[in-house]
Structure 1
Amino acid sequence: MPQQLGIHTVADARRLVEASSLTHIKIGLSDIDGIMRGKLMRRDKFLSALDSGLAFCDVVFGWDSNDQLYDNVRYTGWHTAYPDAHLRIVPESARRLPLERGAGGEEMLLFLAEFVEDAAQICPRRLLHRVIERGRDMGFDAFAALEYEFFVFDETPQSVREKNYRNLKNWTPGNFGYSMLRSTVNSDFYHQLLDMCERMDMSIESLHTETGPGVLEAAIAFDEAGASADKGFLFKTFAKVLAQQNNLMATFMAKWSHDHSGQSGHIHVSLNDRKTGKSAFFEEGAEYSMSATQRAFIAGMQRYLPEFMAMYAQTINSYSRLVPGYWAPLDATWGAENRTTALRLIPGGPKSQRVEVRIGSADANPYIALAAALGSGLYGIEQQLSPSEIVTGNAYDQQFPAELKLPLTLWEAAQRLRTSSAARTVFGDAFVDHYAATREWEENAYRRHVTDWEMARYFEII
């Protein structure tokens, strides 16, 4: 069963820490790219921070995934001298870390944290919770579940660098989706992963091989939307930790090789009516059991998917996955139980009626991607939008109107987000300006490099 620490308040967290033998406590937070940043805090300082918060350098919003400082953002930089921002420890996020123990042998404690005051405007976790609050004000509670595909390699951080990321050895060979053979032969790692996730309250609902050498797909059990994003954030970090402790490496890159399919990060979303506690998406007897609320929600997701694409596909590499024939839709389409469309309506009973966003990649920040999905759907309800005609059959073989076309590069996606009035209404100017600038930085950083493909294609011939 998931580990239940019973922590809901600051007082609960204080009692937990005071009862432990740990001299230091870990805190973790999400940067813009969804990378967990954090530190170990001495016990007495942590207890003080539970009440008053703590200062944390805002450079975590001023650099990229490689710690290179942005030169095109206004929020922080050399012009502000990288001051401290105020951070709040989230008591209910407390977890034991089964992969790490203190000097006395007790499992380490980890708490998530989020930025408050001015920094809250661009903090990914706070972004999502503002969208959740928007839904509550509309009368809805949001629920979500995240699925991740990730490749595992028989490599170490040292060996991949020594090989210059070439000729990497996959954990297992060949294409073998849903393999019982692989999951039994390699059962030690499977069960370590399952046990870790159970104990860290991010239970895996299903785990199986996908088609490709060493690729797995993990579906994390559904929860309230904020808790679900926390679980996705924790899963991506600690799946990699567990792999490296086993002399393996896991990557959530959208596409690590042109020879293999990309890695998706699917998002399942549903709404409940706050007054009744019942599904706001399910309607008995309606076509596909789809309520008017769900139709408007899907319409909003579809309408704003091209504008919000940078929040689902956040890296240069994300767009290497978005090519024909690789299980990644290129248009903002929707269908019922259709895995070729960007949005998949999943009909079911009151507990299972939902919509799946299939366009996102595994490299996305779960807070930002879920905020995009939920925010666009809620905005569709507010505007009483209607979706386009439902797609039947293979969406890859069909033509769609130009307004449904998705951006094909990170730069284009960033421009669509920057100029989106809907994004500014739902997410705020501060976030849109900062986030779009960080994606532009990423594109510019890429353009400064010459790829192996360019060398092989042009060096001799041109």
Structure 2
Amino acid sequence: MTKAASAAAKDFAAAGVGGVHLAWADNNGIPRSRIVPIGGLADAATRGVGATSLFAVFDSHDAITYGHAGLSTPSGDVRLVPVVERLRRLAGQPALAWAPVRQLTQSGDPWPYCQRAVLEAQVAEGARRGLEFRAGYELEFAVAPAGSTDVVTSPGHPGPAYSPHALVGLDGFVAALLHDFAANGLRIGQLHAEYGVAQLELSLAATDPVSAADDQLLARQTIHAAAHAHGLVVSFAPLIGLGAAGNGWHLHTSVRRKGRNLLDDESGVPTGDGAGYLAGLLRDLPALTAITAPSVPSTLRLRPGYFAGAYAFWGVENREAPLRYVPGSQLLGADHANVELKTSDASANPYLALAVVLAAGMAGIADAAALPAPIAEDPGGWTEGERETRGVRRLPADTAGQDAALTASPRVAGVLGDDLLGAFRAVRASDAAWAAERTADEIVAAHLWLY
């Protein structure tokens, strides 16, 4: 690895690269990084770069909580070791390169709070069971002119939703996104003006889960840089305003055995192990959402009628369902079959989000979990009695409800391990205490530019 890092550093230095972002995401989904000079890359790949262990207990507002016993003092250090094979020169920031990191102890062992290691463990567990996964993100974000304090009153494009006319004024930004994503090794499926205020969406091509999480972080860096170069700012926040449609970062996954997509079925709904995978996600959906949509604005976003997924159910191509099954077809092929998790946003750590989704799905396969019938309607329009009859319940609507769901599910909580689970819960409690003293509008405003 040192040899590869040295060779890359030499080539990058010759091309004018001066430093490398060593990047990770914390337990709030917020990207963090350290820049090392390009000449220090080989040393970083060998020995890592030091960082405080307290990053695991930063809350969303950069306050450090000591509510987790394992990280209850300011003492401690970890080593950030770049994943050299994922090293990229940043097309929109040509003097810089980028690489995700593994977080290790000073002895070089895996640190129990490293989210990337948690995902790698679930992928390895899948391989042990003969399962292979594919994953990809859809990213929604809102655009505003640089210097804006909010998006609703200073939208970066006028709409209409899904219209090519909406993007004419953003032509340079769109061109930069297409160029920079390709140059940074990120494949886009599509890019368009979305439904929300000044909202855009782009979809990343499906890949292996660890690369999908890496790609999500790199995509954010790429989008922010392109926006800055064109006099814009972007918000990935779950909500940009209480009355506006939110930003979901929809997570698509599929599972294979011996090359066969288990979610594909001629009947148009998954059967066998594919049904078990989807049933596993549905069974643990409240606990999953505590990881995949964990912030206080996340709970405000999960409202009926906003295509965000407020109730626990699944449907075939039902965009109100938190679990939307996307079947394969003669036109698209069997590989296209996947499950979209809509209760997912930028406040989720992408590695943890994928790890718990894979774990829940694998548990569903192992248990042959029963999959109820799909729902084609929006249960938000039903009476409480109708929802009760169909077994459709509201997803947790606050941090306390999410925490209760998480701790009640050993299948999900166990993925994190006691140390990381304790830190994650402490961070959520710190966020909730902060939010308790503020209005909903203040909460939304304070999260607008965090991600």
Which one of the candidate residues 106, 109, 116 is aligned to 2:104? Answer: 116
Which one of the candidate residues 315, 323, 327 is aligned to 2:295? Answer: 315
Query: Which residue is equivalent to 1:458?
Result: none
Say if 2:151 and 2:240, in contact at 8 Å, map to a contact too. no
Distance 1:424 1:359, change over 3 A: closer
CA positional deviation for 1:119: 6.3
Question: Structure 2 CA distance, aligned partners of 1:245 and 1:181?
Answer: 22
Question: Structure 1 CA distance, aligned partners of 2:281 and 2:99?
Answer: 32
Q: Which protein, 1 or 2, shows the higher relative CO under an 8 Å CA cutoff with sep ≥ 6?
A: 2
- Alignment-mate amino acid for residue 223 of structure 1: T
Aligned length: 428
Secondary structure, aligned partner of 2:91: strand
CA positional deviation for 1:318: 0.8
Query: Which residue is equivalent to 1:281?
Result: 263
Question: Structure 1 CA distance, aligned partners of 2:279 and 2:440?
Answer: 39
Query: Once structures 1 and 2 are overlaid, which stretch shifts more, 65-74 or 434-443?
Result: 65-74
Question: Structure 1 CA distance, aligned partners of 2:2 and 2:442?
Answer: 53
- Alignment-mate amino acid for residue 97 of structure 2: L
Say if 2:2 and 2:43, in contact at 8 Å, map to a contact too. no
Query: Which residue is equivalent to 2:334?
Result: 350
Query: Which residue is equivalent to 2:139?
Result: 148
Question: Structure 1 CA distance, aligned partners of 2:151 and 2:204?
Answer: 31
Output one character per residue of 1:369-395: Cα deviation in whole Å (capped at 9) or x when no partner: 222222211111122211222213333
Query: Which residue is equivalent to 2:5?
Result: 13
Secondary structure, aligned partner of 2:387: coil
Question: Structure 2 CA distance, aligned partners of 1:360 and 1:329?
Answer: 9
- Alignment-mate amino acid for residue 280 of structure 1: L
TM-score, normalising length: structure 1 = 0.86
Query: Which residue is equivalent to 1:28?
Result: 23
Which one of the candidate residues 123, 129, 136 is aligned to 2:120? Answer: 129
- Alignment-mate amino acid for residue 115 of structure 1: Q
Which one of the candidate residues 92, 97, 101 is aligned to 2:94? Answer: 101
CA positional deviation for 1:303: 0.3
CA RMSD of aligned residues (A): 2.3
Say if 1:281 and 1:353, in contact at 8 Å, map to a contact too. yes
TM-score, normalising length: structure 2 = 0.88
Output one character per residue of 1:176-229: Cα deviation in whole Å (capped at 9) or x when no partner: 121111233421110101111111112221000012331101111111111111
- Alignment-mate amino acid for residue 57 of structure 1: T
**Structure 1 portions without partners, runs of 5+:** 1-8, 103-107, 455-462
Question: Structure 2 CA distance, aligned partners of 1:365 and 1:53?
Answer: 22
Question: Structure 2 CA distance, aligned partners of 1:167 and 1:354?
Answer: 33
Say if 2:311 and 2:394, in contact at 8 Å, map to a contact too. yes
Query: Which residue is equivalent to 2:446?
Result: none
Question: Structure 1 CA distance, aligned partners of 2:176 and 2:350?
Answer: 23
Query: Which residue is equivalent to 2:447?
Result: none
Question: Structure 1 CA distance, aligned partners of 2:441 and 2:47?
Answer: 51
Query: Which residue is equivalent to 2:165?
Result: 181
In the TM superposition, 1:22-61 aligns within 5 A as 22-61=17-56
- Alignment-mate amino acid for residue 14 of structure 1: S
Which one of the candidate residues 372, 387, 390 is aligned to 1:400? Answer: 387
**Structure 2 portions without partners, runs of 5+:** 444-451
Query: Which residue is equivalent to 1:213?
Result: 197
Say if 1:297 and 1:381, in contact at 8 Å, map to a contact too. yes
Say if 1:153 and 1:170, in contact at 8 Å, map to a contact too. yes
CA positional deviation for 1:301: 0.1
Query: Once structures 1 and 2 are overlaid, which stretch shifts more, 264-273 or 416-425?
Result: 416-425
- Alignment-mate amino acid for residue 268 of structure 1: H
Which one of the candidate residues 155, 158, 163 is aligned to 1:170? Answer: 155
Output one character per residue of 1:422-453: Cα deviation in whole Å (capped at 9) or x when no partner: 22333322222221221111101111335668
In the TM superposition, 1:416-427 aligns within 5 A as 416-427=405-416
Question: Structure 1 CA distance, aligned partners of 2:135 and 2:101?
Answer: 21
Secondary structure, aligned partner of 1:37: strand
